[in-house]
Amino acid sequence: MTVPIDQHNEGVKKNVTFRVFRFNPQVDSKPYFDDYTIPVERGITVLRSLNYIKEHIDASVSFRAFCQAGICGSCGMRVNGRSQLACTTQVWDVLARSRDEGIIKVEPLRNLPLIKDLIVDMDPLVDKMKHYSNWIDSTMPEASMGKKEFLISEEEFLRYDKATDCILCASCVSECSILRANKEYVSPAVLLKSYRMNVDSRDSIHGQRLAELVKDHGVWDCTHCYRCQESCVKSIPIMDAIHGIREDAIESRGMKDTSGSKHAEAFMSDIEKKGKLVEATLPIRTNGVVWTLQNLLPMAVKMIMKRRTPPPPPLVKSAKGIKIFREMFREMTEHVKQDHKSHKK
């Protein structure tokens, strides 16, 4: 049975206040918010509302928009604190979850330089894509291209299928907790793209890319907060890519490669032996004696003064039920190893 929309929804409007972040570097010394209240019916997106405000109330409100269909990635912004595409976000849906009734707060993406109002500079992201060679450097010489296809299995295609959904909207960049502290950090989107290139059999610079990824500000800086993945507008499992690069790094470059991998190894070994961390020696095992003395000695002295030092290794007792735990640990690592083997096939 067909229900005409008009009977129960069409024409019903709600007054919505859009609290829009404003900043014009030519005249403003600091940002501020402007409120615009407009009637919004069901089915209207945040982007269409901003268009309406721009056309009917204040033409100076500035934001990017292009395809308006969720595929070009231009209109990434924070709506009620959450980074997303304005063009695929329904006003009524957001309204239902608004903390301040009837108010939707619209702000620019974080972690990228602000240009004006809701517009941020995307150049840093492009620069990182270049730095981490986010392209296929084909094993086929340019002169021979176009003559025959590489044969690619469905299984290989599936390895990078999801990753190639990325539209570089930078929602993940905006949500990343590492980038907030360190703007030089590689960024989730660039890790995802790097992973996509690394698992492509047509690529010839996998080793070179990986060598760059394990350096400072690279793949080991991620703290697994999963915010990138949660905010991804295309629901891409970005963390799988980050883990993928790490596993690959350990596998092909060895465990002693970087402080990140050594840190992971120290964690593993503690958990296996004692079921908990031996914190006192962790910095030494991760970064070496010299680094620890140079960087952590003052803090260690302070901790001793305040009696906050972790117990020395001999005093760290094994956790309760360690025997059963070790058995579980062995089973799990065995399982992971098997998984790796089948992945590689």
Partner 1 sequence: MKPFDVVIVGGGGAGLYAAMEAMKTNPSLNIAVLSKVYPNRSHTSAAQGGANAALANKAKNDTVEMHIFDTIKGSDYLADQDAVDVLCSEAPKIIRELENMGTPWSRMDDNTIAQRPFGGATLPRCCYCSDKTGHTILQTLYEQCLKKGVIFFNEYFALNLSVNGSRSRGLIAMNMKSGKVEAFPARTVIFATGGYAKMYWNRSSNAAGNTGDGQAIAFRSGIPLKDMEFVQFHPTGLRKSGLLITEGARGEGGYLVNKDGERFMARYAKEKMELGPRDLVSRSIETEILEGRGFDSPAGTYIHLDLTHLGADLIKSRLPQIREMSMQFEGVDPIEEPIPIRPTAHYSMGGIDTDNFGRTVMQGVYAAGECGCVSVHGANRLGGNSLLDILVFGRIAGHTAAEEAQQFEPGTISEGELKEQLDEVRGGMHSSGNYERYGALREDLGKTLASNVGIYRESSLLQKGIQEISELKERFKKVRVFDTSDVFNTNLMQVLELKNMLDLAETVAAGAYARQESRGSHTRVDFPVRDDVNWHKHTLATLVNGKVVLGEKPVTMGRYELQERTY
Within 280-299, which residues bind partner 1 (CB under 8 A)? none
Binding mask 81-100 for partner 1 (x = CB under 8 A): ------xxxx-x--------
Q: Is 111 in the site for partner 1 (CB under 8 A)?
A: no
In this structure, what token pair is assigned to residue 298?
A: 């003052």
DSSP-assigned beta bridge partners for residue 119: 116
Q: Which stretch binds partner 1 (CB under 8 A): 44-52, 180-188, 253-261, 331-339?
A: 44-52
What are the φ and ψ backbone dihedral angles of 285, each rounded to 5 degrees? Answer: -70, -25
Residue selected from 37, 98, 138, 259 as contacting partner 1 according to rule CB under 8 A: 138
Q: Strand, coil or helix: what is 13?
A: strand
Residues touching partner 1, count (CB under 8 A): 80
Q: Is 246 in the site for partner 1 (CB under 8 A)?
A: no
State which residue, 42 or 274, has the beta carbon closest to partner 1. 42
Closest CA to 210 of 200, 221, 198: 198
DSSP-assigned beta bridge partners for residue 40: 14
Evaluate whether 82 touches 104 at the Cβ level (below 8 Å): no
Evaluate whether 194 touches 244 at the Cβ level (below 8 Å): no
Q: Which stretch binds partner 1 (CB under 8 A): 147-155, 173-181, 213-221, 329-337?
A: 147-155
Smallest separation (angstroms) from partner 1 to the CB of 273: 44
The count of other CB atoms within 10 Å of the CB of residue 241 is 27
**Footprint (CB under 8 A) of partner 1, residues 49-68:** 54-56, 58-60, 62-68
Pairwise CA distance, residues 239 & 225, whole Å: 9
In this structure, what token pair is assigned to residue 32?
A: 């501020």
Evaluate whether 116 touches 63 at the Cβ level (below 8 Å): no
**Footprint (CB under 8 A) of partner 1, residues 160-179:** 160-161, 164-165, 167-168
Smallest separation (angstroms) from partner 1 to the CB of 244: 16
Residue selected from 31, 33, 152, 207 as contacting partner 1 according to rule CB under 8 A: 152
State which residue, 132 or 220, has the beta carbon closest to partner 1. 132
In this structure, what token pair is assigned to residue 27?
A: 């005249």
Per the listing, tokens 């619209």 go with: 106
Handedness of CA 39, 43, 47, 52 (dihedral sign): negative
Per the listing, tokens 């059999």 go with: 201
Pairwise CA distance, residues 188 & 171, whole Å: 10
Smallest separation (angstroms) from partner 1 to the CB of 33: 18
In this structure, what token pair is assigned to residue 139?
A: 């094993």
Residue selected from 15, 29, 30, 69 as contacting partner 1 according to rule CB under 8 A: 69
The count of other CB atoms within 10 Å of the CB of residue 133 is 18
State which residue, 36 or 160, has the beta carbon closest to partner 1. 160
Q: Is 255 in the site for partner 1 (CB under 8 A)?
A: no
Q: Which stretch binds partner 1 (CB under 8 A): 43-51, 301-309, 319-327, 334-342?
A: 43-51
Smallest separation (angstroms) from partner 1 to the CB of 26: 6
Q: Which stretch binds partner 1 (CB under 8 A): 35-43, 182-190, 213-221, 297-305?
A: 35-43
State which residue, 54 or 262, has the beta carbon closest to partner 1. 54
Per the listing, tokens 């100076």 go with: 60
State which residue, 184 or 203, has the beta carbon closest to partner 1. 203
Q: Is 154 in the site for partner 1 (CB under 8 A)?
A: yes
Smallest separation (angstroms) from partner 1 to the CB of 155: 9
**Footprint (CB under 8 A) of partner 1, residues 182-211:** 197, 200, 202-203
**Helix 238-253 with 188-198: angle, nearest 10 deg:** 60
